[in-house]
Structure 1
Amino acid sequence: SARKLGFPRLVFLGMNCMSPSILDSVFKNKLLSEVKSETEAVAVPEFPWIKVRKCDFVEDMFDTKPTTDPGFELILDQCASMSQSQGIIFNTFDDLEPVFIDFYKRTRELKPWALGPLCLGKNSLEDEGEEKVKSVWMKWLDEKRDKGCYVLYVAFGSQAEISREQVEEIASGLEESKVNFLWVVKGNEIGKGFEERVGERGMVVKDEWVDQRKILEHESVRGFLSHCGWNSLMESICAEVPILAFPVAAEQPLNAMLVVEELRVAERVVAASDGAVRRGEVAEKVKELMEGEKGKELRRNVEVYGKKAKKALEEGVGSSWKNLKNLINEFCNNMGT
């Protein structure tokens, strides 16, 4: 429709620039087509220091699909639409991943525009949306802060599907870790007796919407066990909270690579041979993030990027502010010719 009316069209990807860059290379070079093992590491030609495995991608991504497959047809349609656009917007900022943004500029026809972090954008309804009555979990965080206790925030997004067995392993790991935690879960997936056993050390929020950004910005929150959805990772970086990466689906393993290997603001859990993350691994990594030397190192690193994130949106001088101004000027000028 935009094309028919003569309007310029931009693609918006609510993700970082690294993930699609890696994905493009994997397909272009057919990196994993002949690889049998799910865990064999293969170097990415354009970024040789980065290694990918089949298990880092959607399960059937490398299977040959018939052209009549609805999912395949949708992907082809999306690719065609993207190729006819005049640019692509990423929810990232120049100082977060300069190597990948520069690569995209040099090698892709679609011009990338880094306009993030979007979570720091001003919301005119923010003041109106202030809670008139504080939620139970925010009161609980206040109590922990007043007692000088640090809290691990645990959330796996609204769409991630996690097996009951894996949920039980996470629960047992949190219990064994002895750290304070606030866990947002879907449904009654946690085994009976868990909340009674952890007592005041844990707060479990079931099937309720929470203001994740406010939680991450709370003074008591010092770590985030996350599924690595990009919005969640950006909110954590902006709040200067280090991450324990627990990718579940979609491009989340690639997001985890960025925060763990490139930015070094996160540690990653390691799955067993059957793909499950055991309670001992959860307990060990949680304890290290919250109390260990590794956690301190990650916290120092994320504080640096958190400050850079805020700087990117500074009016008149921030990189994302300037990019948005240039985008508007470029397309408005084109409209006038």
Structure 2
Amino acid sequence: MAIIQIVEKPTWIQWLDKKLIANEPVLYVSFGTQAEASTEQLREVAIGLEQSNKSFMWVVKPKQLQFIGPGFKERVKGRGLVLAEWVDQMEILKHEIVCGFLSHCGWNSMLESMCAGVAVLAMPLMAEQHLNARIVVEEIGMGLRLWPRGRVARGIVGAEEVAKMVVELMEGEGGKRVRKRVKEVGESAYGAMKEGGSSSTMLDSLIDHVCGARVHSMA
């Protein structure tokens, strides 16, 4: 007799499911595992998210919890969920109620957002992330950009900018435009990976080339 094991959904997926039932779109916020936002920047993001009055899920490193401001989690309870644990980012991005991704623009995160069809709110922190943000916003057109005060390179993005652009992404015309664009990009990406698609064809060609060269060298 077969035994059926019921696996309970993670608490963060259950929370998103409740938001879906309530029809409250959610902004996913994460700055990755390597990028380090300053204490000041974390506090500005926290204030901006609170002022935006939009639902959000924010994944932080455990050591960062103390820097987002006293009483923050209590003030946004119900509307915002702050997590200091591992989550399946792709599963979150694929959830139907998630409509935006406030991100540091690490390339892996950008690819996951693209494949999930989720628009990006770009806030690069270091290294090549600034170039990635430019590609995502200006070249691909699947995101909006958060700018530091005075547009100073690698400066602090203020709470007022965070709040304004969160609302724009989730409700404004700019948000509608980039959400439409990212859906098109996502469909193209999946099409390229399917059998007969450009990526699939190129991979088959590479495998044939490598295997052929190996056989030739062994002959």
For the criterion TM > 0.5, the same-fold answer is yes
Q: Give the match's secondary structure for 2:59.
A: strand
Q: What corresponds to 1:102 in structure 2?
A: none
Q: Show the counterpart of 1:174.
A: 49
Distance 1:167 1:136 in 2: 24
**Which of the residues 170, 177, 183 maps onto 1:303?**
183
Divergent runs of 4+, >3 A: none
SS in 1 for 2:82: strand
Among all aligned residue pairs of Structure 1 and Structure 2, give the percentage whose two residues are the same amino acid: 51
Q: Note the C-alpha offset of 1:321.
A: 0.7
> Are 1:194 and 2:63 matched, yes or no?
no
Aligned partner (choices 220, 223, 239) of residue 116 of structure 2: 239
Output the TM-score relative to the length of structure 1.
0.60
Residue of structure 2 aligned with 1:327, choices 206, 209, 214: 206
Distance in 1 between the 2:7 and 2:131 partners? 39
2:83 alignment counterpart: 205
Q: 1: distance between equivalents of 2:124 and 2:156?
A: 12
Correspondence list, 1:1-337, <5 A: 132-187=7-62, 188=65, 189-206=67-84, 208-273=85-150, 275-315=155-195, 317-337=196-216
Distance apart, 1:137 and its partner CA: 1.0
Q: Distance in 1 between matches of 2:147 and 2:127?
A: 18
| Aligned twin of 1:12 | none
Bigger Rg over Cα: 1
SS in 2 for 1:204: strand
Distance 1:134 1:205 in 2: 16
CA distance, structure 1, for counterparts of residue 201 and residue 18 of structure 2:
41
- The one-letter code sitting in structure 2 at the alignment partner of 1:306 is G
Shift of residue 268 of structure 1?
A: 0.6
Q: Which moved more, 1:241-250 or 1:273-282?
A: 273-282
RMSD: 1.1
User: For each residue in 1:152-182, what CA deviation from the matched residue of structure 2 results, as whole angstroms up to 9, or x when unmatched?
Assistant: 0000001111111110000000000000000
- The whole-number CA distance in structure 2 between the counterparts of 1:179 and 1:217 is 19
Deviation at 1:272?
1.4
Give the AA of the match of 1:293: E
For residues 148 and 157 of structure 2, the distance between their equivalents in structure 1, rounded to whole angstroms, comes to: 4
- The alpha carbon displacement at 1:183 in A equals 0.2
Deviations 1:237-282 (A, max 9, x none): 1111100001111211111111100110011101114610000000
AA matched with 1:190: I
Aligned residues: 205
1:224 aligned counterpart, secondary structure:
strand
Q: Which amino acid aligns with 2:68?
A: I
Give the deviation of 1:133 after TM superposition.
Answer: 2.1
Distance 1:255 1:162 in 2: 17
Shift of 1:132: 2.3
SS at match of 1:199: coil
Cα distance in 1, alignment partners of residues 159 and 80 from structure 2: 16
Give the Cα separation in 2 of the matches to 1:135 and 1:211. 10
User: What 5-or-longer segments of structure 1 have no aligned partner?
Assistant: 1-130
Q: TM-score, normalised by structure 2?
A: 0.91
Measured in 2, the distance between the counterparts of 1:269 and 1:292 equals 15
User: Unpaired segments of 5 or more residues in structure 2?
Assistant: 1-5
Deviation digits for residues 198-252 of structure 1 (CA, Å, limit 9, x no counterpart): 120000001x110000000001100000000011011111111100001111211
**What CA distance in whole angstroms lies between the structure 2 residues aligned with 1:276 and 1:177?**
18
Q: Distance in 1 between matches of 2:188 and 2:17?
A: 28
Q: Name the SS of the counterpart of 1:153 in structure 2.
A: strand
